Amino acid sequence: MKNLKLAIVLIAVGVIGLVAVNLYSPSYSYTISSSDFQSNGERIYFTATSNSGKPIISSIGAMTMRGGMMSCAACHGADGKGGRGRMMMWTFNASDIRYSSLASGIGNEKPYTDELIKRAITEGLDSEGKKLENPMPVWQMSVEDQNDLLDYLKTLK
């Protein structure tokens, strides 16, 4: 009986902890309907799906996901400014991916060109060729979709 009471108390503490984490941890939230997309790049940014219907696949290590399960906005925010993000029980700092920030250089990195931004998205490498930090996924998408996404990043202010 004593073990049952202890188990109930531990479960209650765990549930309260999870509720507190979800209530007090910052996370990005936005609501978008399909009619809200003004471009294919914007659709890709928010949903990781393409107007063309071509699959967009992301992978982090051995974990692979099809479009719609994860998106740029999920970590970098609707405005692309990045900040503190959360994935499951792990927190991280997501970079500012607005084109103006990437093209001017972040910290000591050399500035990103259009081709280096596409390489970061599709190969997971920074402007100097080093692996980007987790949880940045590697995205598989058509060249057309890469160009559309890049055009959308250029609109973020």
Domain-wise residue ranges, the chain:
27-153
Closest among 62, 41, 73 to 141, alpha carbons compared? 41
Distance CA 157, CA 155 (A): 6
- Asked if pLDDT for residue 129 goes beyond 90, the answer is yes
Q: Report, as an integer, the average pLDDT of 11-26.
A: 51
- DSSP H or E segment with residue 139: strand 138-140
Residue 25 has pLDDT above 80, yes or no: no
**Average of per-residue pLDDT across 139-151:** 96
Q: Who has greater pLDDT, 84 or 65?
A: 84
Higher pLDDT, 105 or 14: 105
**Residue 12 in tokens:** 């209650």
**pLDDT value at 31 more than 60:** no
pLDDT at 65: 76
